[in-house]
Amino acid sequence: MLRFLARRAAWFALTTWVVITLAFFLLRAAPGGPFSSERKLHPSVEAALREQYHLDWPLWKQYLHTLGPLNLDERGWLGDGADPFGGVLAGDFGPSMQHRDVSVNDVLASSLPISITLGSLALALALVLGLSAGVASAHSPGSKLDQSVRALATGGLVLPNFVLASLLVLVFAFWIPVLPVAGFGTPRHLVLPSLALALPFAAYIARLSRAGLLETLSKDYIRTARAKGASRARILWKHAMRGALAPVVSYLGPAAAGVLTGSLVIERIFAIPGAGTHFIASALNRDYTLAMGVTVVYAVLVFGFNTLVDVAYTLLDPRLDLEQEA
């Protein structure tokens, strides 16, 4: 376990570094800058702003400055003055370039919890809906129930999530006005967005678990369980489920990344003040620091979740060894 975590940590460092570097250079390579798009600033004001955010520095110096708590003076040497900026590696993303007077960390602190709430709710919902549909389907393959579950699952997989979201809004907010359309605050506000976000993943999980269950149910050890006198429900839930869960669990990694991506759309549709909004806006506005902050946080979230999934996967199957899996 320790070795696994150590290797994971090394991977984590490497991945984060790649993400930071990619994000840094892609952003700087893009035409325009944080202060060029707005209503024309006076050249002296713009110069002052550029100086304030160190955009007048050479690129390598900006890069190092972004990375770490390095105090570099004009000559590129380590200075001794106290720079309040801690650097990305220390978890300090600095001041936002668009939202004046607000630090990126503040922006993230106010918006990220909302996104995470929405995302984890959607994942849980996808898991619950998908698994129950898959089990119901596999319980009697070929039945009416099975056919309708499969049809629904297909529906969830062939439509873009904003279309699904629009349909949900149309039905539950306009035709049968039981739920609020937009905003964030009460649990009721979360129902439609998390459902819209969850549906495609629920559909895929239903497919995976159905296929996994049917495959597992044909195994020899299921016959052993039947020969022991176990009931059908027991066989399904205890003997088949555990084996069938493996593909579902390993799908959770990509699903988490997908939920984050999907939340960009869902947050926009339902006017939810989450981090997704900043994501695109910051990239388009060349808000270098905010874009870097959102990117790194998302990458870290995805990586952390994948690590959790790997651990869960090993707990599920005693034949796997974390040491080798790392």
* Closest CB 32 distance from other proteins, rounded Å: 4
Q: Where do the DSSP E strands lie in 52-170?
A: none
Q: CB-wise, 19 or 272, nearer to other proteins?
A: 19
Q: Which of these, 165, 255, 161, 163, lies nearest to 207 by C-alpha position?
A: 255
Cross-strand partners of 95: 103
Residue by residue, DSSP assigns 175-209 as IS--S--S--SSHHHHHHHHHHHHHHHHHHHHHHH
Both structure tokens of 217: 């149910």
Question: Taking the CB of residue 280, how many other CB atoms lie within 10 A of it?
Answer: 14
* Closest CB 239 distance from other proteins, rounded Å: 6
Q: CB-wise, 75 or 232, nearer to other proteins?
A: 232
231 backbone dihedrals φ, ψ, rounded to 5°: -80, 165
Q: CB-wise, 11 or 184, nearer to other proteins?
A: 11
Handedness of CA 99, 102, 103, 105 (dihedral sign): negative
Q: CB-wise, 114 or 292, nearer to other proteins?
A: 292
* Closest CB 49 distance from other proteins, rounded Å: 15
The answer to whether the beta carbons of residues 181 and 169 sit under 8 Å apart is yes
* Closest CB 191 distance from other proteins, rounded Å: 18
Please state, in angstroms and rounded to a whole number, the distance separating the CA atoms of residues 48 and 50: 5
- Start-to-end C-alpha separation, the chain: 10
* Closest CB 3 distance from other proteins, rounded Å: 18
Q: CB-wise, 71 or 250, nearer to other proteins?
A: 250
Please state, in angstroms and rounded to a whole number, the distance separating the CA atoms of residues 322 and 30: 41
* Closest CB 9 distance from other proteins, rounded Å: 13
* Closest CB 76 distance from other proteins, rounded Å: 26
Q: CB-wise, 160 or 185, nearer to other proteins?
A: 160
10 backbone dihedrals φ, ψ, rounded to 5°: -60, -45
230 CB-contact burial (10 Å; exposed 0-12 / middle 13-18 / buried 19+): middle
Q: CB-wise, 187 or 229, nearer to other proteins?
A: 229
